[in-house]
Amino acid sequence: MSELRRELGLLEAVVYGTGLILGAGIYAILGEATGVTGGSIVISFLLAALIASVTGLSYAELASLFPKAEGDYIYVRNAFDREIVSDVTALGRLLMGVISSAAVALAFSGYLSAFIDVSQIWTAILIVVIMTGINFWGIDLSTKINILFTGIEVAGLVIIIWIGSGSWGSAEVLHTPNGVVGVLHASFLIFFAYLGFGSIVNLSEETEDATVTIPRAIVLSLGFTTLIYLLVGLSAVSLVDWRVLGQSASPLAAVARVGWGTRGSTLLGAIALFSTTNTVLILQISTSRLLYGVSKSEYHVFPEIFSRVHSSRQTPHYAVMLVGIVTIPFVFLGDIGFVAGLANLMLLVVFVLVNAALLKLRYSRPEQERGFRAPLNVGQLSITAVAGLISSLGLIAFYILTW
């Protein structure tokens, strides 16, 4: 068997993107981001959403051109025809996937510790191992789990919005205890929350009519999650002091405790377990599909064994196992903010290359059929791709200068 099973439609693809974005962001990094920027976390969310959206449009168009599991790699390879550039893209995305998976697994441990006394490191490792097993079992089971868990995590965020909606007027959204640097730093951390849209493209070979479905899924996932993020962020700083949020290992549970008492805190803590579990699962899936894609015989980026598909499960079992194994060492770093920062840096390097790839392909292959075309153009020049390129370079420079 050398092909994956096409099981996903638009709904499933949007749910995958939504589950990945929401789980990785709000439940994992909200506290630390609020701790560096205060009430202006809402502004940081808007800035991060803008940066993610312009690059997301590049992904949407490129996914309609090349609906392959290789995703970013195949885009850069076709644009520049230089193995070193495309190989760096593949390696960067793989590192981003495993590092992000480790960061969210650590967030899972943080929420679980509110219920029982557990080892953060070993609990995170255990959740990675379990999700690797589900990933191996098949895309059908993974999809069912994803839909169920995404519904639960969205319900939890709606509860937070409902709890805080009556206090929105008290939020000091212009409060910047660390000035512009704090707003930018928080935006950089929050950018980790948007990594999901780039991973949707890795499901192209398991999606029906991928040239149309995947671009739509990217746009819809980004739009829906941005709205949720803004309202949750506003509710959080309306109810809880930003310094308290910054010190909390389970920030949304802290918000629920203030607005709804111990019962609310317990409920949100439990929902966060589903959300972070879901995110680890989807990251393991998308990263293993990328490894599967770039290991195909025509590329030779990685040994061809990782492109093999299990005869009965129809999943890339060797790729699944390797991604799970490589994730575990990053769990030992322990610090969610530091791990998320590393994932962001890898992702931003890839974003620079992806936006540059779209700009190049607009001129080198202007007549190639596209299922989606990014808006705002001057002739063949994509304004959104230029904005994505510049903003990604800017965040890389910010990260290096503030390390």
Domain boundaries, the chain: 10-401
Q: How many Å apart are CA 165 and CA 223, to the nearest integer?
A: 20
Q: Per CATH, which fold does 10-401 belong to?
A: Amino acid/polyamine transporter I (1.20.1740)
The pLDDT tens digits of the residues spanning 249-298 come to: 778 888 999 988 888 889 988 988 998 898 899 889 989 988 998 898 77
In sequence order, what are the residues at sequence separation of 6 or more whose Cβ sits closer than 8 angstroms to the Cβ of residue 211? 63, 64, 65, 67, 371, 372
How many angstroms separate the Cα of 345 from the Cα of each of 77, 164, 289, 357, 387?
21, 33, 21, 19, 18
Report phi then psi at 381, rounded to 5: -80, 125
Work out the burial of residue 367: count CB atoms within 10 Å of its CB; fewer than 13 is exposed, 13-18 middle, 19 or more buried.
exposed
pLDDT value of residue 23? 67
CA dihedral 68, 73, 77, 83 (to 10 degrees): -140
Q: How many Å apart are CA 245 and CA 215, to the nearest integer?
A: 35
Query: What is the reported pTM?
Result: 0.84
Closest CA to 48 of 186, 221, 178: 186
Report the 10 Å Cβ neighbour count for 11: 12
The distance between the two most distant Cα atoms of the chain, rounded to a whole number of Å, is 60
Closest CA to 272 of 97, 146, 98, 107: 107
The pLDDT tens digits of the residues spanning 243-263 come to: 999 988 778 888 999 988 888
Question: In the chain, which residues have pLDDT < 50?
Answer: 1
